Amino acid sequence: MEQPRHIASLLSSLAEFDIEVTVAKGAHRVRVQRGSKATEVLWPQGLTEVFLGFTIDGRAVYSDSAEFYEGESQLEQVEGVARVVRNYLLHEVKVMQSGSLLKRKELHSFRDGQWQSIFLSQSDEA
């Protein structure tokens, strides 16, 4: 079965990792692994949202979803998802809590000498 263009692009952009793809009920599940760390991307067909699960040694570390902006191109969506996967797999990570009244947890990776959300690129931080 031929992959949709955005899934094929995602697979191509993450080709240096071990990848497993399954399709069920109109959603592509892409599992990307490097050593003991893995990210699962669930990308339902027709939705502008992806669901992400992060594991170490098979244990869940963090899960979240990301919604794409209206007008964001499919290429930008793929680049964003690939960036998050790379930020997780290639760097030291930890779950951090922020906020004083309304506490929330975020997954951060240690990049360029500082802890940053895995969802942010360097240009977002600047």
Tens digit of pLDDT for each residue in 5-57? Answer: 889 999 999 999 999 999 988 899 999 999 999 999 999 887 778 999 999 99
3-state SS, the chain, equals: CCCCHHHHHHHHHCCCCEEEEEEECCEEEEEEEECCEEEEEEEECCCCEEEEEEEECCEEEEEEEEECCCCCCHHHHHHHHHHHHHHHHCCCEEEEEECCCCCEEEEEEEECCEEEECCCCHHHHC
Tens digit of pLDDT for each residue in 3-12? Answer: 788 899 999 9
